[in-house]
Amino acid sequence: MRPLLSAAAAGMLALLSVGTVCLARPPENADPAFAPWFQSLRAPDGGLCCSEADCRPVEYRISGDHYEVLIGKQYGDDVLPHWEEVPADSVLSKTDNPTGRAIACWLPYTNPKVLCFVRPAET
């Protein structure tokens, strides 16, 4: 009797069934001292914001009653710069942002695309 799915097909199906798949490696210029802070980020629902692999410094603005972040080359050479709306439930209330910049954790193939947004520390 032949199996219904090959091992490779079953593996792909398992990968696709995962809700959010994070990228594997941080950007080339990532400061490893920030890694524990990035790994501590949790979405309001308790899910992961991923890590420094998916979170990048961004420019941001307030548009009406929500934040928008400028997504572009910091996420890859094939990403055209554009303003992406930050869902209200993706805004984290963390005040200990050690990076000095706004941070967005963004995945192009999820909905919403901005998983977490952390404002820069207020001075």
Q: Is the pLDDT of residue 10 over 80?
A: no
Band (pLDDT 50/70/90 cuts) for residue 51 is low
Task: Report domain extents, the chain.
Answer: 23-118
Supply the mean pLDDT for the chain: 78
22-30 contact pairs (CB < 8 A, 24+): 22/48, 22/50, 22/51, 22/53, 22/54, 22/107, 23/50, 23/53, 23/54, 23/107, 24/53, 25/53, 26/51, 26/52, 26/53, 27/52, 27/56, 27/74
pTM here?
0.74
